[in-house]
Amino acid sequence: MRGEVREAAEQEKGGQNRRSALCGKDRLIAALDVDDLGRYKELVRTLSGAVGGFKVGMRLYYRVGPEALAFLRGMAPVIFADLKLHDIPSTVGGGVRALVAHGATLINVHAAGGKDMMRAAREAAAAEADRLGVTPPKLVAVTVLTSLDEEALANQIGIREPLQARVIAWARMAQECGLDGVVASSLEAAAIRKACGPGFVIITPGIRMPGSHAGDQRRVATPAHAVREGADYIVVGRPVVEAEDPARAVKEIVDSLE
Binding site for ligand C5P (CB under 6 A): 31, 33, 57, 82, 142, 145-146, 183, 205-207, 215, 217, 235-239
- Cβ 161 to ligand C5P shortest distance, Å: 18
Cα dihedral 222, 223, 226, 227 sign: negative
Nearer to ligand C5P, 102 or 208 (CB): 208
Q: Which residues contact 75 (CB under 8 A, 6 or more apart)?
A: 44, 45, 48, 54
How does DSSP classify residue 222? -
Cα Dmax for the chain:
49
Measured CA to CA, the distance from residue 104 to residue 15 in angstroms comes to 32
Nearer to ligand C5P, 60 or 120 (CB): 60
111: exposed, middle or buried (Cβ count in 10 Å: 0-12, 13-18, 19+): buried
Nearer to ligand C5P, 139 or 145 (CB): 145
- Cβ 89 to ligand C5P shortest distance, Å: 21
- Cβ 126 to ligand C5P shortest distance, Å: 23
Measured CA to CA, the distance from residue 85 to residue 77 in angstroms comes to 22
Nearer to ligand C5P, 130 or 162 (CB): 162
- Cβ 149 to ligand C5P shortest distance, Å: 12
Residue 81 near residue 88, CB atoms below 8 Å: no
Residue 225 near residue 8, CB atoms below 8 Å: yes
Nearer to ligand C5P, 131 or 238 (CB): 238
Measured CA to CA, the distance from residue 254 to residue 256 in angstroms comes to 5
Give the nearest residue (CB) to ligand C5P.
237
- Cβ 19 to ligand C5P shortest distance, Å: 25
38: exposed, middle or buried (Cβ count in 10 Å: 0-12, 13-18, 19+): exposed
Which positions are annotated as active-site residues?
84
Measured CA to CA, the distance from residue 249 to residue 34 in angstroms comes to 17
Measured CA to CA, the distance from residue 106 to residue 26 in angstroms comes to 14
Nearer to ligand C5P, 126 or 195 (CB): 195
- Cβ 130 to ligand C5P shortest distance, Å: 28
